[in-house]
Amino acid sequence: MLTDTQIRNTKAGAKPFKLYDTAGLFIQVAPSGSKLWRLKYRFQGKEKLLSLGKYPAVTLSDARRQRDAAKADLADGNDPAIKKKLAKQIRSTQVENTFEAVALEWYELQKTQWVDRHAADVLASLQKEAFPYLGNMPIADIKAPDVLACVRIVEKRPAVETARRLRQRISAVFEYAIATARADTDPAAIIRKAMAPLKKGRQPAIINLADLVDMLRKVDAEPAHPVTKLAIRIIALTAVRPGTLATTPWAEWADIAESKTWRISAARMKMKLENKEDEQRDHILPLADATIEAIEALRIVSGRGPLAFPNARHAHKPMSENAMGYLINRAGYHQKHVPHGFRAAFSSIMNEARPADRFVIDRMLAHISKDKTEAAYNRASHLEKQRDIAEQWAAMIAGDLVPAAQLLEGPRR
């Protein structure tokens, strides 16, 4: 039997030679000085060799344990070399089939049916919230507590709704992994009832006219970049979605002073991907004179670039929607009103003022009929009434506000 001291003190020779232990185990010493463990055995009448690793990384006792395990495999009728090869293949497959690898494969497959903005949001949420915790784990080894621990971090921020969206996306990845034979269960589905409850509610909005006007006065008086102030003025007057306003290209307002009508490309509207290239679904919005005034004031600040509301740091990118929300918060309306709340304010106040025009008001909010023919007819037949409503709304909320040009002056934040 070999001893560790004997192996350690053995010097290399001009030719390879072997030092034998017991039961077929030996160490081969190369002229270079490397010492490699080998096991000689017979399987189905043939002599075979099994590599066990390099000394001293694999010690004498380690090599003997591997020899004993191989002998046990032989006793069970299995070839230890084949078993070792299969184990290596499984480890390699696990590396290739980590959660991150499968998730990115799923994402590439799904993103073709999403709008660019949603695709970017899905990828960013996985990269930020899931990959740091689950990314390197073999997807087949991930259990429900692993996924729950991942989403709990998001819940505790607190961001309960974001955590729920994350769980749904993780679950979709596991469904794909199951379908492609790389996982057996969906642990994200199991944790569904273990998540924090979501208290759903409407986005905060001031729907009293006097309070709304008072808020707009305070926003005008707050130190801020004029682009942000004018964004609030224009979104209040038009009641478009914050994301639609923030990404407005000047090309859509090129002749706005003459046409007094804003044609918002369907590609930028909130709708299914297959409808975004249909020009009949462009949103046509007649504008009040006060809105034109605000747009022309804005043109002085940002009119040389492609975007009406450029990011303050990166002019080729649109402003963050959060910029509008932060300004409203600083004016004293945190959790009382958000940029999206102007839609609720417009709908509530104007439906009360003009109950017979509910359908036209819905049209101005881009609540479009699913029937394309009906939608096209209504769009053409109600433009003048929409313009009349827009002027009435502007008089109600902006009649006593400072002129838009004055928002270019004053302290900036």
Catalytic residue (one of 143, 304, 377, 413): 377
Catalytic residue (one of 241, 281, 337, 363): 241
Residue 289 has pLDDT above 50, yes or no: yes
Active site residue 340: yes
Active site residue 225: no
Active site residue 20: no
Question: Ramachandran region of residue 33, left (φ > 0), alpha (ψ -120 to 50) or beta?
Answer: left
For every residue of 27-81, which 3-state class applies, written as one string?
A: EEECCCCCEEEEEEEEECCEEEEEEEEEECCCCHHHHHHHHHHHHHHHHCCCCHH
pTM across the whole model: 0.58
One-character DSSP codes across 127-189: IIIIHHHHTTSBGGG--HHHHHHHHHHHHTTT-HHHHHHHHHHHHHHHHHHHHTTS-S--HHH
Q: What is the pLDDT of residue 117?
A: 79
Distances (CA, A) of 312 to 74, 226, 294, 300, 307: 71, 11, 19, 15, 12
- Segment holding 283, helix H or strand E: strand 283-286
Q: What is the pLDDT of residue 270?
A: 54
Give the integer Cα–Cα distance in Å for 190 and 346: 42
Report how far apart the first and last C-alpha atoms of the chain are (Å, whole number).
Answer: 82
Residue 271 has pLDDT above 50, yes or no: no
Task: Report the range of poorest mean pLDDT among 10-24, 74-88, 95-109, 381-395.
Answer: 74-88
Q: Which residue has the higher pLDDT, 278 or 299?
A: 299
Give the integer Cα–Cα distance in Å for 183 and 138: 9
Query: Which SS3 state, helix, strand or coil, does residue 2 take?
Result: coil
Q: What is the pLDDT of residues 63-79, one digit of tens each?
A: 999 999 999 999 988 99
Query: Which SS3 state, helix, strand or coil, does residue 261 take?
Result: strand
Q: What is the pLDDT of residue 158?
A: 83
Active site residue 337: no
Contact 406, 233 (CB under 8 A): no
Mean pLDDT along residues 211-218:
96
Residue 207 has pLDDT above 90, yes or no: yes
Q: What is the pLDDT of residues 131-172, one digit of tens each?
A: 999 999 999 999 999 999 999 999 998 889 899 999 999 999
Residue 374 has pLDDT above 50, yes or no: no
Task: Find the angle CA(234)-CA(228)-CA(120) to the nearest 5 degrees.
Answer: 95
Per-residue buried b or exposed e for 358-367, using 16+ beta carbons within 10 Å of the residue's own CB: eebbebbbbe
Q: What is the pLDDT of residue 313?
A: 81
Q: How far is CA 353 from the centre of its chain?
A: 40
Contact 103, 173 (CB under 8 A): yes
Instruction: Return all residues near 355 (Cβ < 8 A) that are at least 6 apart.
Output: none
One-character DSSP codes across 225-255: -HHHHHHHHHHHHH---HHHHHT-BGGGGTT
Q: What is the pLDDT of residues 68-110, one digit of tens each?
A: 999 999 998 899 888 888 777 666 655 678 999 999 999 999 9
Q: What is the pLDDT of residue 295?
A: 97
* 276 — pLDDT class (breaks 50, 70, 90): very low
Give the integer Cα–Cα distance in Å for 52 and 260: 81
Catalytic residue (one of 167, 343, 379, 382): 343
Nearest in space to 27 (alpha carbons), one of 69, 74, 60, 61: 60
Contact 188, 147 (CB under 8 A): yes
Q: Which residue has the higher pLDDT, 203 or 362?
A: 362
Active site residue 241: yes
- According to the per-residue pLDDT averaged within each range, which of 39-53, 87-101, 258-272 is highest? 39-53
Mean pLDDT along residues 321-331:
93
Catalytic residue (one of 65, 270, 412, 413): 270
Q: What is the pLDDT of residue 368?
A: 62
Instruction: Please name each of the domains of the chain with its CATH number.
Output: 4-91 (3.30.160.390), 99-194 (1.10.150.130), 209-408 (1.10.443.10)
Catalytic residue (one of 334, 367, 372, 412): 367
Q: Which residue has the higher pLDDT, 158 or 179?
A: 179
Catalytic residue (one of 64, 281, 337, 340): 340
* 45 — pLDDT class (breaks 50, 70, 90): confident
Contact 168, 121 (CB under 8 A): no
Q: What is the pLDDT of residue 94?
A: 57
